[in-house]
Chains A and B, each alone.
Chain A
Amino acid sequence: MKYFTLTYLIQAFSEEVNILLSISVILLLLSIALVLFILISRLVKSYHLKKEEKFKQLFREIIYGISVQEKNRSDQESDLALTELNKNIHSVFGQQVLIDELIHVRKNVVGTSADNIYAVYLNLELHKNSLKKLKSISWVTKARGIRELAEMDYSNAILQIEQLLSAPQQTIREESILALIRLSKNNSFNFINDYKGEITPWIEINIHKHLLTLDARKLPNFSLWFNHSNRSVRSFSIKMTRLFRQIESVPDLLLLLSEADKDIALLAADAICDMAGQEYATPLAEILSNTWDYDQISIRLMNTMASIGDPDIHSKFLTPFLSHPDYEVRLATVRALEQLNGTEQHIQVLEKDKQVAIQQMIAHVNNTFLN
Protein backbone atom coordinates (compact mmCIF):
# COMPACT_ATOMS: atom_id res chain seq x y z
CA MET A 1 0.00 0.00 0.00
CA LYS A 2 2.74 2.45 0.84
CA TYR A 3 3.65 2.82 -2.85
CA PHE A 4 0.47 4.73 -3.41
CA THR A 5 0.63 7.25 -0.61
CA LEU A 6 1.24 10.84 -1.52
CA THR A 7 4.42 11.16 0.52
CA TYR A 8 5.91 8.22 -1.29
CA LEU A 9 5.06 9.69 -4.65
CA ILE A 10 6.49 13.07 -3.75
CA GLN A 11 9.70 11.54 -2.53
CA ALA A 12 9.97 9.50 -5.68
CA PHE A 13 10.05 12.53 -7.97
CA SER A 14 12.88 14.94 -8.46
CA GLU A 15 12.58 18.44 -7.08
CA GLU A 16 11.86 20.02 -10.51
CA VAL A 17 9.00 17.67 -11.15
CA ASN A 18 7.52 18.48 -7.79
CA ILE A 19 7.69 22.17 -8.51
CA LEU A 20 5.96 21.68 -11.86
CA LEU A 21 3.31 19.47 -10.33
CA SER A 22 2.57 21.98 -7.62
CA ILE A 23 2.34 24.77 -10.20
CA SER A 24 -0.15 22.68 -12.16
CA VAL A 25 -2.21 21.95 -9.09
CA ILE A 26 -2.24 25.61 -8.08
CA LEU A 27 -3.25 26.76 -11.55
CA LEU A 28 -5.99 24.15 -11.80
CA LEU A 29 -7.30 25.08 -8.38
CA LEU A 30 -7.27 28.74 -9.37
CA SER A 31 -9.11 27.91 -12.58
CA ILE A 32 -11.73 26.02 -10.63
CA ALA A 33 -12.03 28.96 -8.27
CA LEU A 34 -12.60 31.26 -11.23
CA VAL A 35 -15.26 28.97 -12.62
CA LEU A 36 -16.97 28.82 -9.24
CA PHE A 37 -16.76 32.58 -9.00
CA ILE A 38 -18.39 32.93 -12.41
CA LEU A 39 -21.22 30.60 -11.44
CA ILE A 40 -21.77 32.23 -8.07
CA SER A 41 -21.61 35.70 -9.59
CA ARG A 42 -24.39 34.67 -11.94
CA LEU A 43 -26.56 33.63 -9.03
CA VAL A 44 -25.80 36.82 -7.12
CA LYS A 45 -26.38 38.90 -10.22
CA SER A 46 -29.78 37.40 -10.90
CA TYR A 47 -30.74 37.69 -7.21
CA HIS A 48 -29.79 41.37 -7.20
CA LEU A 49 -31.55 41.98 -10.47
CA LYS A 50 -34.73 40.44 -9.12
CA LYS A 51 -34.54 42.45 -5.93
CA GLU A 52 -33.83 45.63 -7.86
CA GLU A 53 -36.68 44.92 -10.24
CA LYS A 54 -39.05 44.42 -7.34
CA PHE A 55 -38.09 47.73 -5.77
CA LYS A 56 -38.19 49.51 -9.10
CA GLN A 57 -41.71 48.31 -9.90
CA LEU A 58 -42.86 49.46 -6.53
CA PHE A 59 -41.19 52.88 -6.70
CA ARG A 60 -42.02 53.62 -10.30
CA GLU A 61 -45.77 53.61 -10.01
CA ILE A 62 -45.52 56.02 -7.08
CA ILE A 63 -42.90 58.27 -8.65
CA TYR A 64 -44.82 58.57 -11.90
CA GLY A 65 -47.90 59.39 -9.94
CA ILE A 66 -46.10 62.13 -8.06
CA SER A 67 -44.42 63.50 -11.15
CA VAL A 68 -47.66 64.11 -13.04
CA GLN A 69 -49.31 65.96 -10.16
CA GLU A 70 -50.06 69.56 -10.80
CA LYS A 71 -49.07 72.48 -8.65
CA ASN A 72 -51.26 73.41 -5.71
CA ARG A 73 -52.92 70.06 -5.45
CA SER A 74 -54.06 68.86 -2.09
CA ASP A 75 -51.06 67.34 -0.36
CA GLN A 76 -52.94 64.37 0.91
CA GLU A 77 -52.18 62.30 -2.14
CA SER A 78 -48.46 63.01 -2.10
CA ASP A 79 -48.24 62.43 1.64
CA LEU A 80 -49.66 59.02 1.11
CA ALA A 81 -47.16 58.32 -1.64
CA LEU A 82 -44.27 59.50 0.51
CA THR A 83 -45.24 57.25 3.40
CA GLU A 84 -45.42 54.36 1.00
CA LEU A 85 -41.92 55.11 -0.34
CA ASN A 86 -40.55 55.64 3.15
CA LYS A 87 -41.57 52.15 4.18
CA ASN A 88 -39.30 50.63 1.58
CA ILE A 89 -36.07 52.51 1.93
CA HIS A 90 -34.69 51.23 5.19
CA SER A 91 -31.99 49.31 3.35
CA VAL A 92 -29.10 51.09 1.62
CA PHE A 93 -29.91 49.05 -1.45
CA GLY A 94 -33.49 50.29 -1.56
CA GLN A 95 -32.36 53.87 -1.07
CA GLN A 96 -29.93 53.63 -3.95
CA VAL A 97 -32.55 52.19 -6.28
CA LEU A 98 -34.91 55.00 -5.36
CA ILE A 99 -32.26 57.70 -5.88
CA ASP A 100 -31.37 56.23 -9.28
CA GLU A 101 -35.02 56.13 -10.29
CA LEU A 102 -35.64 59.70 -9.19
CA ILE A 103 -32.61 60.92 -11.14
CA HIS A 104 -33.66 58.95 -14.17
CA VAL A 105 -37.13 60.47 -14.19
CA ARG A 106 -35.92 63.96 -13.44
CA LYS A 107 -33.51 63.90 -16.41
CA ASN A 108 -36.42 63.65 -18.80
CA VAL A 109 -38.75 66.29 -17.46
CA VAL A 110 -38.80 69.99 -16.66
CA GLY A 111 -41.24 72.21 -14.82
CA THR A 112 -43.63 71.06 -12.15
CA SER A 113 -42.79 67.39 -12.55
CA ALA A 114 -39.10 68.07 -11.92
CA ASP A 115 -39.95 70.14 -8.86
CA ASN A 116 -42.14 67.35 -7.54
CA ILE A 117 -39.28 64.87 -7.87
CA TYR A 118 -36.93 67.23 -6.04
CA ALA A 119 -39.44 67.53 -3.26
CA VAL A 120 -39.50 63.76 -2.84
CA TYR A 121 -35.68 63.68 -2.71
CA LEU A 122 -35.65 66.28 0.05
CA ASN A 123 -38.62 65.00 2.03
CA LEU A 124 -37.18 61.50 2.24
CA GLU A 125 -33.81 63.00 3.24
CA LEU A 126 -32.05 61.20 0.43
CA HIS A 127 -29.66 64.13 0.09
CA LYS A 128 -28.06 62.94 3.32
CA ASN A 129 -27.27 59.67 1.59
CA SER A 130 -25.66 61.54 -1.33
CA LEU A 131 -23.69 63.86 0.94
CA LYS A 132 -22.35 60.90 2.90
CA LYS A 133 -20.94 59.51 -0.36
CA LEU A 134 -18.71 62.56 -0.74
CA LYS A 135 -16.77 61.39 2.30
CA SER A 136 -16.23 57.87 0.99
CA ILE A 137 -12.70 56.62 0.28
CA SER A 138 -13.67 54.99 -3.00
CA TRP A 139 -13.53 57.45 -5.90
CA VAL A 140 -16.44 55.72 -7.59
CA THR A 141 -18.74 56.35 -4.66
CA LYS A 142 -17.47 59.91 -4.30
CA ALA A 143 -18.09 60.69 -7.96
CA ARG A 144 -21.50 59.10 -7.73
CA GLY A 145 -22.40 61.33 -4.78
CA ILE A 146 -21.36 64.45 -6.69
CA ARG A 147 -23.39 63.35 -9.67
CA GLU A 148 -26.50 62.71 -7.58
CA LEU A 149 -26.36 66.10 -5.89
CA ALA A 150 -25.84 67.83 -9.22
CA GLU A 151 -28.66 65.99 -10.96
CA MET A 152 -30.99 66.92 -8.14
CA ASP A 153 -29.82 70.56 -8.09
CA TYR A 154 -29.04 70.38 -4.41
CA SER A 155 -27.12 73.66 -4.22
CA ASN A 156 -26.38 73.47 -0.48
CA ALA A 157 -23.56 71.09 -1.37
CA ILE A 158 -21.51 73.66 -3.29
CA LEU A 159 -18.91 74.16 -0.56
CA GLN A 160 -18.28 70.46 -0.11
CA ILE A 161 -17.96 69.92 -3.85
CA GLU A 162 -15.60 72.86 -4.34
CA GLN A 163 -13.09 71.07 -2.15
CA LEU A 164 -13.05 68.15 -4.56
CA LEU A 165 -12.09 70.34 -7.52
CA SER A 166 -8.43 69.52 -7.03
CA ALA A 167 -8.87 65.83 -6.28
CA PRO A 168 -6.22 63.55 -7.77
CA GLN A 169 -8.77 61.39 -9.56
CA GLN A 170 -9.79 62.68 -13.00
CA THR A 171 -13.43 61.59 -12.86
CA ILE A 172 -13.94 63.33 -9.52
CA ARG A 173 -12.47 66.54 -10.90
CA GLU A 174 -14.67 66.35 -13.99
CA GLU A 175 -17.78 65.64 -11.97
CA SER A 176 -17.00 68.51 -9.59
CA ILE A 177 -16.64 71.08 -12.36
CA LEU A 178 -19.90 70.01 -13.93
CA ALA A 179 -21.68 69.93 -10.61
CA LEU A 180 -20.47 73.41 -9.67
CA ILE A 181 -21.64 74.85 -12.94
CA ARG A 182 -25.02 73.24 -12.51
CA LEU A 183 -25.46 74.19 -8.89
CA SER A 184 -24.28 77.79 -8.61
CA LYS A 185 -27.15 79.52 -10.29
CA ASN A 186 -26.23 83.22 -10.31
CA ASN A 187 -22.55 83.33 -11.20
CA SER A 188 -21.79 79.88 -12.36
CA PHE A 189 -18.26 80.61 -13.48
CA ASN A 190 -16.65 82.04 -10.37
CA PHE A 191 -14.35 79.12 -9.88
CA ILE A 192 -12.93 79.41 -13.38
CA ASN A 193 -11.08 82.65 -12.56
CA ASP A 194 -8.30 80.76 -10.87
CA TYR A 195 -8.83 77.37 -12.41
CA LYS A 196 -5.54 75.60 -13.10
CA GLY A 197 -6.66 72.27 -14.53
CA GLU A 198 -7.44 71.19 -18.04
CA ILE A 199 -10.88 71.66 -19.61
CA THR A 200 -11.01 68.75 -22.02
CA PRO A 201 -13.45 68.73 -24.94
CA TRP A 202 -15.44 66.17 -23.00
CA ILE A 203 -16.02 68.64 -20.15
CA GLU A 204 -16.81 71.36 -22.67
CA ILE A 205 -19.50 69.18 -24.20
CA ASN A 206 -21.10 68.56 -20.85
CA ILE A 207 -20.93 72.18 -19.75
CA HIS A 208 -22.38 73.34 -23.05
CA LYS A 209 -25.16 70.81 -22.75
CA HIS A 210 -26.07 72.20 -19.36
CA LEU A 211 -25.78 75.86 -20.37
CA LEU A 212 -28.24 75.22 -23.18
CA THR A 213 -30.93 74.65 -20.59
CA LEU A 214 -30.35 78.09 -19.06
CA ASP A 215 -31.57 81.47 -20.15
CA ALA A 216 -28.95 82.73 -22.62
CA ARG A 217 -29.24 86.28 -21.25
CA LYS A 218 -28.04 85.12 -17.85
CA LEU A 219 -24.82 83.65 -19.20
CA PRO A 220 -21.62 85.52 -18.42
CA ASN A 221 -19.75 87.37 -21.13
CA PHE A 222 -17.18 84.73 -22.05
CA SER A 223 -14.75 87.27 -23.49
CA LEU A 224 -13.78 87.93 -19.84
CA TRP A 225 -11.56 84.86 -20.07
CA PHE A 226 -10.09 85.38 -23.54
CA ASN A 227 -6.75 86.26 -21.96
CA HIS A 228 -6.83 83.83 -19.06
CA SER A 229 -3.45 82.40 -18.14
CA ASN A 230 -4.78 78.85 -18.53
CA ARG A 231 -4.80 77.97 -22.20
CA SER A 232 -7.65 75.50 -21.96
CA VAL A 233 -9.85 78.11 -20.28
CA ARG A 234 -9.12 80.44 -23.18
CA SER A 235 -10.16 77.94 -25.80
CA PHE A 236 -13.21 76.99 -23.76
CA SER A 237 -14.36 80.60 -23.52
CA ILE A 238 -13.85 81.23 -27.24
CA LYS A 239 -15.92 78.18 -28.09
CA MET A 240 -18.72 79.22 -25.77
CA THR A 241 -18.71 82.75 -27.20
CA ARG A 242 -19.31 81.16 -30.59
CA LEU A 243 -21.93 78.66 -29.51
CA PHE A 244 -23.96 81.27 -27.63
CA ARG A 245 -23.45 83.88 -30.33
CA GLN A 246 -22.12 86.63 -28.08
CA ILE A 247 -21.78 88.99 -31.01
CA GLU A 248 -20.51 91.87 -28.89
CA SER A 249 -17.21 89.96 -28.52
CA VAL A 250 -16.34 90.00 -32.23
CA PRO A 251 -13.85 92.93 -31.89
CA ASP A 252 -11.98 90.97 -29.18
CA LEU A 253 -11.96 87.93 -31.42
CA LEU A 254 -10.45 89.96 -34.25
CA LEU A 255 -7.53 90.77 -31.94
CA LEU A 256 -7.09 87.08 -31.15
CA LEU A 257 -6.58 86.32 -34.86
CA SER A 258 -3.03 87.66 -34.66
CA GLU A 259 -2.32 85.57 -31.57
CA ALA A 260 0.99 83.69 -31.62
CA ASP A 261 -0.76 80.54 -30.44
CA LYS A 262 -2.28 79.45 -33.74
CA ASP A 263 -4.75 77.02 -32.17
CA ILE A 264 -6.32 79.90 -30.28
CA ALA A 265 -6.30 82.03 -33.44
CA LEU A 266 -8.04 79.22 -35.29
CA LEU A 267 -10.79 78.98 -32.69
CA ALA A 268 -11.24 82.74 -32.92
CA ALA A 269 -11.52 82.44 -36.69
CA ASP A 270 -14.16 79.75 -36.21
CA ALA A 271 -16.15 82.03 -33.96
CA ILE A 272 -15.80 84.99 -36.32
CA CYS A 273 -16.96 82.80 -39.20
CA ASP A 274 -20.19 82.07 -37.32
CA MET A 275 -20.92 85.53 -36.00
CA ALA A 276 -19.29 88.40 -37.87
CA GLY A 277 -21.67 90.81 -39.59
CA GLN A 278 -21.12 92.87 -42.72
CA GLU A 279 -19.55 95.74 -40.80
CA TYR A 280 -16.51 93.51 -40.24
CA ALA A 281 -16.02 92.63 -43.91
CA THR A 282 -13.36 95.23 -44.67
CA PRO A 283 -11.18 94.71 -41.59
CA LEU A 284 -11.34 90.96 -42.15
CA ALA A 285 -10.44 91.28 -45.82
CA GLU A 286 -7.37 93.23 -44.78
CA ILE A 287 -6.37 90.63 -42.18
CA LEU A 288 -6.81 87.88 -44.75
CA SER A 289 -3.46 88.42 -46.46
CA ASN A 290 -1.65 88.01 -43.11
CA THR A 291 -3.08 84.54 -42.69
CA TRP A 292 -1.57 83.15 -45.91
CA ASP A 293 0.74 80.81 -44.02
CA TYR A 294 -2.02 79.35 -41.86
CA ASP A 295 -4.22 77.27 -44.13
CA GLN A 296 -6.99 76.52 -41.66
CA ILE A 297 -7.36 80.16 -40.59
CA SER A 298 -7.42 81.29 -44.23
CA ILE A 299 -10.19 78.78 -44.94
CA ARG A 300 -12.33 80.04 -42.04
CA LEU A 301 -11.90 83.67 -43.06
CA MET A 302 -12.65 82.77 -46.67
CA ASN A 303 -15.91 81.17 -45.54
CA THR A 304 -16.69 84.31 -43.57
CA MET A 305 -16.06 86.51 -46.58
CA ALA A 306 -18.39 84.30 -48.60
CA SER A 307 -21.31 85.35 -46.44
CA ILE A 308 -20.46 88.95 -45.51
CA GLY A 309 -18.26 90.23 -48.35
CA ASP A 310 -19.22 92.81 -50.95
CA PRO A 311 -18.25 91.62 -54.47
CA ASP A 312 -17.09 95.04 -55.69
CA ILE A 313 -14.97 95.90 -52.69
CA HIS A 314 -13.60 92.60 -51.40
CA SER A 315 -13.03 90.30 -54.37
CA LYS A 316 -9.57 91.72 -54.93
CA PHE A 317 -8.50 90.57 -51.47
CA LEU A 318 -9.64 87.04 -52.22
CA THR A 319 -8.30 86.40 -55.72
CA PRO A 320 -4.60 86.00 -54.79
CA PHE A 321 -5.61 82.93 -52.82
CA LEU A 322 -6.59 81.18 -56.07
CA SER A 323 -2.86 80.45 -56.35
CA HIS A 324 -2.44 79.32 -52.74
CA PRO A 325 -0.29 76.16 -52.43
CA ASP A 326 -2.94 74.33 -50.36
CA TYR A 327 -5.84 72.77 -52.24
CA GLU A 328 -8.42 73.25 -49.48
CA VAL A 329 -7.61 76.97 -49.31
CA ARG A 330 -8.04 77.28 -53.07
CA LEU A 331 -11.34 75.43 -52.87
CA ALA A 332 -12.58 77.73 -50.10
CA THR A 333 -11.53 80.73 -52.20
CA VAL A 334 -13.48 79.44 -55.19
CA ARG A 335 -16.47 78.82 -52.95
CA ALA A 336 -16.30 82.36 -51.57
CA LEU A 337 -15.91 83.96 -55.00
CA GLU A 338 -18.81 81.94 -56.34
CA GLN A 339 -20.93 83.30 -53.49
CA LEU A 340 -19.90 86.85 -54.29
CA ASN A 341 -20.01 87.31 -58.05
CA GLY A 342 -18.44 84.33 -59.75
CA THR A 343 -14.89 83.08 -60.16
CA GLU A 344 -14.61 82.95 -63.96
CA GLN A 345 -13.86 86.65 -64.38
CA HIS A 346 -10.87 86.42 -62.02
CA ILE A 347 -9.07 83.50 -63.60
CA GLN A 348 -8.42 84.84 -67.10
CA VAL A 349 -4.97 86.03 -65.99
CA LEU A 350 -3.95 82.54 -64.85
CA GLU A 351 -2.23 79.88 -66.96
CA LYS A 352 -4.41 77.50 -68.93
CA ASP A 353 -3.93 74.41 -66.72
CA LYS A 354 -4.68 76.37 -63.56
CA GLN A 355 -7.88 77.60 -65.20
CA VAL A 356 -8.95 74.03 -65.93
CA ALA A 357 -8.30 73.02 -62.33
CA ILE A 358 -10.32 75.95 -61.03
CA GLN A 359 -13.21 75.20 -63.36
CA GLN A 360 -13.37 71.73 -61.82
CA MET A 361 -13.55 73.32 -58.40
CA ILE A 362 -16.33 75.61 -59.59
CA ALA A 363 -18.33 72.59 -60.72
CA HIS A 364 -17.68 70.94 -57.36
CA VAL A 365 -18.79 73.85 -55.19
CA ASN A 366 -21.89 74.55 -57.27
CA ASN A 367 -23.24 71.02 -57.17
CA THR A 368 -26.33 70.85 -54.96
CA PHE A 369 -25.68 67.31 -53.77
CA LEU A 370 -22.16 68.10 -52.61
CA ASN A 371 -23.26 70.81 -50.23
Chain B
Amino acid sequence: MLNTNLKHLETEQEVKEVLEKNENVMICCGRMGPMCVPVFRVMEDLERSYPHVTFRDQDFDISAADIIRNLPDCALFMGLPFTVYFKNGKVVAATSSIQNKDQVMEVLDREFGKQS
Protein backbone atom coordinates (compact mmCIF):
# COMPACT_ATOMS: atom_id res chain seq x y z
CA MET B 1 0.00 0.00 0.00
CA LEU B 2 1.32 3.40 -0.93
CA ASN B 3 1.36 6.13 1.68
CA THR B 4 1.54 9.22 -0.50
CA ASN B 5 -0.61 12.24 -1.23
CA LEU B 6 -0.88 11.28 -4.88
CA LYS B 7 -3.93 9.58 -6.34
CA HIS B 8 -3.28 5.85 -6.60
CA LEU B 9 -4.12 3.65 -9.56
CA GLU B 10 -5.51 0.47 -8.05
CA THR B 11 -7.27 -1.24 -10.95
CA GLU B 12 -6.54 -1.80 -14.63
CA GLN B 13 -9.72 0.14 -15.40
CA GLU B 14 -8.36 3.16 -13.52
CA VAL B 15 -5.12 2.99 -15.50
CA LYS B 16 -7.00 2.83 -18.78
CA GLU B 17 -9.32 5.67 -17.81
CA VAL B 18 -6.56 8.01 -16.70
CA LEU B 19 -4.74 7.44 -19.96
CA GLU B 20 -7.89 7.88 -22.05
CA LYS B 21 -9.10 11.02 -20.33
CA ASN B 22 -5.85 12.95 -19.95
CA GLU B 23 -3.39 14.23 -22.51
CA ASN B 24 -0.30 14.29 -20.29
CA VAL B 25 0.13 11.63 -17.63
CA MET B 26 3.03 10.65 -15.36
CA ILE B 27 2.70 7.31 -13.54
CA CYS B 28 5.23 6.15 -10.97
CA CYS B 29 4.99 2.46 -10.15
CA GLY B 30 6.91 1.43 -7.06
CA ARG B 31 6.95 0.65 -3.35
CA MET B 32 7.40 2.68 -0.17
CA GLY B 33 11.15 2.11 -0.36
CA PRO B 34 14.21 4.35 -0.48
CA MET B 35 14.42 4.45 -4.26
CA CYS B 36 10.70 5.11 -4.85
CA VAL B 37 9.68 7.48 -2.07
CA PRO B 38 11.90 10.32 -3.33
CA VAL B 39 10.20 10.12 -6.75
CA PHE B 40 6.74 10.13 -5.15
CA ARG B 41 7.75 13.20 -3.12
CA VAL B 42 9.02 14.98 -6.22
CA MET B 43 5.67 14.28 -7.92
CA GLU B 44 3.76 15.63 -4.92
CA ASP B 45 5.96 18.70 -4.99
CA LEU B 46 5.49 19.30 -8.72
CA GLU B 47 1.78 18.47 -8.98
CA ARG B 48 0.64 22.06 -8.43
CA SER B 49 3.23 23.54 -10.76
CA TYR B 50 2.22 21.31 -13.67
CA PRO B 51 -1.61 21.53 -13.80
CA HIS B 52 -1.51 20.33 -17.41
CA VAL B 53 -0.03 17.00 -16.24
CA THR B 54 -1.91 14.25 -14.38
CA PHE B 55 0.26 12.67 -11.68
CA ARG B 56 -0.53 9.17 -10.41
CA ASP B 57 1.28 6.48 -8.47
CA GLN B 58 0.79 2.74 -8.32
CA ASP B 59 1.84 -0.09 -6.04
CA PHE B 60 4.33 -2.24 -7.97
CA ASP B 61 3.03 -5.46 -6.40
CA ILE B 62 -0.64 -5.32 -7.41
CA SER B 63 -1.94 -7.07 -10.49
CA ALA B 64 -3.07 -3.79 -12.06
CA ALA B 65 0.60 -2.84 -12.26
CA ASP B 66 1.01 -5.41 -15.04
CA ILE B 67 0.12 -2.66 -17.51
CA ILE B 68 3.19 -0.66 -16.51
CA ARG B 69 5.46 -3.63 -15.69
CA ASN B 70 4.82 -5.24 -19.08
CA LEU B 71 5.35 -2.17 -21.24
CA PRO B 72 8.07 -2.77 -23.84
CA ASP B 73 9.62 0.50 -22.68
CA CYS B 74 10.16 -1.07 -19.25
CA ALA B 75 11.44 -4.41 -20.49
CA LEU B 76 15.05 -3.62 -19.60
CA PHE B 77 14.30 -1.95 -16.28
CA MET B 78 15.99 -3.47 -13.24
CA GLY B 79 15.40 -0.83 -10.62
CA LEU B 80 12.37 0.54 -8.79
CA PRO B 81 10.42 2.64 -9.40
CA PHE B 82 9.26 2.37 -13.00
CA THR B 83 8.21 5.88 -14.01
CA VAL B 84 6.36 6.27 -17.28
CA TYR B 85 5.24 9.43 -19.07
CA PHE B 86 2.27 9.21 -21.48
CA LYS B 87 1.03 11.68 -24.09
CA ASN B 88 -2.39 10.91 -25.55
CA GLY B 89 -2.10 7.41 -24.13
CA LYS B 90 1.26 6.66 -25.71
CA VAL B 91 4.56 6.30 -23.88
CA VAL B 92 6.88 9.21 -24.58
CA ALA B 93 9.47 8.57 -21.87
CA ALA B 94 10.23 6.05 -19.14
CA THR B 95 12.82 5.91 -16.38
CA SER B 96 13.98 3.27 -13.95
CA SER B 97 15.21 3.73 -10.37
CA ILE B 98 15.48 6.88 -8.27
CA GLN B 99 15.20 10.25 -10.02
CA ASN B 100 15.69 13.70 -8.54
CA LYS B 101 13.51 16.75 -9.08
CA ASP B 102 15.68 18.13 -11.88
CA GLN B 103 15.59 14.84 -13.77
CA VAL B 104 11.79 14.62 -13.49
CA MET B 105 11.34 18.26 -14.50
CA GLU B 106 13.61 17.77 -17.49
CA VAL B 107 11.28 15.08 -18.84
CA LEU B 108 8.09 16.98 -17.94
CA ASP B 109 9.32 20.16 -19.64
CA ARG B 110 10.55 18.32 -22.70
CA GLU B 111 7.50 16.15 -23.25
CA PHE B 112 4.63 18.19 -21.85
CA GLY B 113 5.82 21.79 -21.80
CA LYS B 114 7.20 23.91 -19.00
CA GLN B 115 5.48 24.50 -15.67
CA SER B 116 3.03 27.37 -15.26
Partners in one complex: no
Chain B residues in the interface with A (C-beta under 8 A): none
